Amino acid sequence: MWRETLVAPEAYSVHMLQVGTPPLPPPPPPGLDLNFLLDQLMPIVALVVVFVGLRWLFRTPVGEAFAERIRTRVRGGGRWGGGVPGEDPQRVAALEEQLTHLQGQIAELAERLDFAERLLAERRERKLGAGQ
């Protein structure tokens, strides 16, 4: 008789357990299926929530500003809303006057910078001329 070493004979035994098929789940009760109903209603509920939220947003000051910006673009106001009806002519004139004053100051500063550069250049030329 042939026998493997270090292997127990019961290591090769196979035990099968046979069980009947599981019972079927009970049939759904007659009437509405709650899962189906929720699956169908959730998109509608989500749309209603979004529309209510947008309506609330557009009634806030942020929404009013957004609507005003759309109105100015439709009227051809451009990017900066040129020709806005609530524009104060006195304020515009004061801003233009201030702009003219600032442009004059910039021109004066440019002249002073040119003068300082010329003085430095002359001084540098004198030093180079004396050093030779």
Q: Are the CB atoms for 84 and 72 separated by under 8 Å? A: yes
pLDDT at 14 over 80: no
Mean pLDDT throughout 23-37? Answer: 82
pLDDT at 49 over 70: yes
Q: Give 57-79 pLDDT, tens digit per residue.
A: 889 999 899 888 888 888 765 55
CA 23, chain centre distance (Å)? 55
Most confident of 12-21, 59-68, 110-119: 110-119
Kindly list the distances between the CA atom of residue 49 and the CA atoms of 36, 52, 55, in Å, as whole numbers in the listed order.
21, 5, 10
pLDDT at 36 over 70: yes
Work out the burial of residue 63: count CB atoms within 10 Å of its CB; fewer than 13 is exposed, 13-18 middle, 19 or more buried.
middle
Of residues 104 and 16, which shows the higher confidence score?
Answer: 104
